[in-house]
Structure 1
Amino acid sequence: MILILCREKTFDVLTLDKELTSTLNVDVLSLMPNELSLEFMDQKKISLRHRGDLLEPELIIGWTSLHQKDNGNTLLSILRKNGYKVLNNDENLGLAQNKILNSSILRAYGIPNIRTFLVGNLTDAVRIASELSYPLVLKPLIGAKGEGIRKISSKEQLIDETEVIFSNNEMICMQECINKPERDIRVRVIGYKAEFAFYRFVGPDGFITNLSKGSHWEEAHLDETLRSLAEKAAIAFNAPIAGVDIVEDIDTGELKVIEVNATPAITWPYEKTVKTLVSYVETLLKEEN
């Protein structure tokens, strides 16, 4: 049996569930964290249950984020540490879902990236903004689908956008605004191998490129430079399933990684990714046996 631990039962999750079931002829359960319980039997054994029924999955696929990030990562961590086989585990999900950790990993591995700062007060924010120069980008520490990302064009706007954040003793990421075409590149990586790349063009707001925000897309040529960069980033995060976001820096002619997403879309706009992922899961199960 395969368990998909998900944030919610999205089209991606349901499609993966169906493909795993039909291709591998195995039972698949797609469940949210709150649909499960852990029982500690003794110092060396736990049991995983759904509505009282004992579950003994051969493989657990982690697909939790946003409002289920904490619950999901807690479960995945305990299960992994108690001997369950986990694909997309708590460690790589946690790294990929945090913007400043994302930046830190990229820097540590020498992967070209965009300068990012973690800031918790206005004094430092103004000082860093003067170093970066305007415009710059504000991002929440944790986020997805383009939520909370703002382009800041002046000191006055910076003060206005961060007033509530800093008054609540919260922190925010400040990022350099790269001179780039009106697009970025998403590369899908499965089993640490790049399989598909596409351009995401800016949406109605003239800045955000997320497809969920109205951006449109075109297939990009997955040449060796793009392939190598995306795979290197996925390996750095130990993320066998990854959506690597890359930007073209016009000033330097260099490709730079924006971030690595460990729960990327695996259907639209390229549904063959689901079959690639199922083939990778089949390989993992065979290795286990």
Structure 2
Amino acid sequence: MNTILIAESGDDWLGPIEGVETIDPRDYLSTNDVKLRRGTRIYNLSRSYGYQSIGYYVSLLAEARGHRPIPDVSTIQDLHGSAAVRLIPQPLEELIETSLKGLASDEFVLSVYFGQNLAKRYDRLTKELCGLFQAPLLRFHFRRRNRWRLSSASAIALKAVPESHRDFVAQAAAKHFVRRGFDRPKRRTMRYDLAILHNPDEGDLAPSDEPALKKLVKAAAAEGIAAELITRQDSDRLMEFDALLIRETTAVNHHTYRLARRAQAAGMVVIDDPLSILRCTNKVYLAELLNRAKVPTPKTWIVHRRNAVEIASEVSYPIVLKRPDSAFSQGVLKAANPEELAARLAEFFEDSELVIAQQYMRTDFDWRIGVLDGRALFACKYHMARGHWQIAKHDSGGVKPRFGKCETFPVETAPRKAVATAVKAANLIGDGLYGVDVKEAEGAFYVIEVNDNPNLDSGVEDAVLRDELYRRIMQSFARRIETNKQ
């Protein structure tokens, strides 16, 4: 049994659901059924989720037993008091305003049952809210004061569902479990479930192209893993999977980081894990980390308003400036003289208190060493874009970026010092999947940065290993999930 519904004995109006067993919360708390393997999904519909209540302890003990409670304890805490209101990101605030602006009343209650609402026009809002707060039954209260805002949110029990909604809830529950494929015959041949988060709208800047995504799914199947491509609109389904692979450009103030955190908190295997995202996406952190570990890098300064003038007199020109969260050569500029440096810094300081200044090293290419589980996975030369000093040239006016050519080599034939330096740098971050950029100058190798979300594109990074590249990644997932479930 992989799916358990926890509900009071008197709350039996949902009826039987194929492939799902219903257990009274007190029975679940008093016995630890050894037949329930690690990763069993526990849909907690207890009558109360208050601190130290029956529902609270169901989710708490489920986590201790290696099960996957929905909601988990962190979600229960998020849905307590005003915590939920503070968690609403800016894009969701805008969606709330857009979705509710036509209402005549200044108050509105949105009930979400197994990811669905009775009114189809709120489907998008429902999905976004479920992605942020994952629980079977949710109730959201909104209030308008000039603009619509969330005033409170709560997970509710079956008993709290109005009589007039119960037929809809029963149908939504049945659809939820059937759609999620908990009893699909093809799943019986697979050991685990993997979600691959991607964003089709990223285009050329996506970390994996469509053929590579398909190869990841195929490689997963060969390892007994049922992989499914999901987008942020499917984030309400996150708890259905055993693991999460992020193939969308990551950032800390972004849904990729929030999903990584939620997946890790639920005991899932996650690449990129939230700590790797946090460390790799901030170049200030990387600069300090690499310096302390004595990893060779171009001479680097951490610039702030107080030391900007002093540093301007120390550096040699041209000097490279980087926003802490820059990616894909965006937010990375070159200053040719002190005046240009001052102008660029003033611009960057509008968004960040700290800026990275780095010695400019002119090279025709950067080495990109892929690292997984502390070992080199692939080695590429990323050549600079034609007529440009970076591997990607971003033109104004919405024109697609232009990239330099790429050459891929067997790891064994890449310079040993480049590989060793890259692996050392990656291991400072963690044991996930990383892409380390290394410059070669006069026989020496310098780490530029460690990327938590390295490109895996068909015909590029897989040019040497081909399908074996994706197979190794999925073998790592299989090992990690198996260890997680022991």
Give TM class, smaller chain: 0.7 to 0.9
- Match runs of 1:157-168 below 5 Å: 157-167=340-350
Work out the CA distance in 2 between the residues paired with 1:14 and 1:217: 19
Work out the CA distance in 2 between the residues paired with 1:150 and 1:169: 15
Structure ID, larger Rg: 2
Deviant stretches of 4+, over 4 Å: 7-10, 66-69, 167-170
Partner of 2:475: 279
Secondary structure (helix, strand or coil) at the match of 1:257 reads: strand
Partner of 1:233: 425
Partner of 1:270: 461
The answer to whether 1:242 aligns with 2:242 is no
Secondary structure (helix, strand or coil) at the match of 1:138 reads: strand
Partner of 2:267: 83
Contact 1:187–1:198 (Cα < 8 Å) also in 2: yes
Percent of pairs with identical residues: 21
CA shift in 2, pair 1:21/1:66, >3 Å? closer
Partner of 1:193: 375
Note the C-alpha offset of 1:279.
Answer: 2.7
Contact 1:7–1:67 (Cα < 8 Å) also in 2: no
Partner of 1:18: 217
- Match runs of 1:1-289 below 5 Å: 1-8=193-200, 10=206, 11=209, 14-37=213-236, 49=237, 55-66=239-250, 70-121=254-305, 124-167=307-350, 170-178=353-361, 180-210=362-392, 213-219=402-408, 221-250=413-442, 253-267=443-457, 268-271=459-462, 272=466, 273-288=469-484
Note the C-alpha offset of 1:263.
Answer: 0.6
Secondary structure (helix, strand or coil) at the match of 1:102 reads: helix
Note the C-alpha offset of 1:210.
Answer: 3.9
Of stretches 111-120 and 263-272 in structure 1, the one that deviates more from structure 2 is 111-120
Q: TM-score, normalised by structure 2?
A: 0.50
CA shift in 2, pair 1:198/1:83, >3 Å? closer
2:321 counterpart letter in structure 1: L
2:370 counterpart letter in structure 1: R
CA shift in 2, pair 1:190/1:168, >3 Å? closer
Secondary structure (helix, strand or coil) at the match of 2:357 reads: strand
1:119 counterpart letter in structure 2: V
Secondary structure (helix, strand or coil) at the match of 1:189 reads: strand
Contact 1:66–1:144 (Cα < 8 Å) also in 2: no
Work out the CA distance in 2 between the residues paired with 1:279 and 1:141: 33
Note the C-alpha offset of 1:21.
Answer: 4.5
Q: Which runs of 5+ in 1 are unaligned?
A: 38-48
CA shift in 2, pair 1:167/1:224, >3 Å? closer
CA shift in 2, pair 1:101/1:8, >3 Å? farther
CA shift in 2, pair 1:82/1:270, >3 Å? closer
Contact 2:216–2:470 (Cα < 8 Å) also in 1: no
Contact 2:250–2:453 (Cα < 8 Å) also in 1: no
Secondary structure (helix, strand or coil) at the match of 2:221 reads: helix
Work out the CA distance in 2 between the residues paired with 1:22 and 1:132: 53
Contact 2:324–2:356 (Cα < 8 Å) also in 1: yes
Note the C-alpha offset of 1:66.
Answer: 4.6
Deviations 1:180-233 (A, max 9, x none): 432221111122211321222221343102496421223453243222212111
CA shift in 2, pair 1:247/1:71, >3 Å? same
1:240 counterpart letter in structure 2: G
Contact 1:113–1:258 (Cα < 8 Å) also in 2: yes
Secondary structure (helix, strand or coil) at the match of 1:149 reads: strand
Q: Which runs of 5+ in 2 are unaligned?
A: 1-192, 394-400
Q: TM-score, normalised by structure 1?
A: 0.81
Deviations 1:3-50 (A, max 9, x none): 22345575266235422443234322332344323xxxxxxxxxxx36
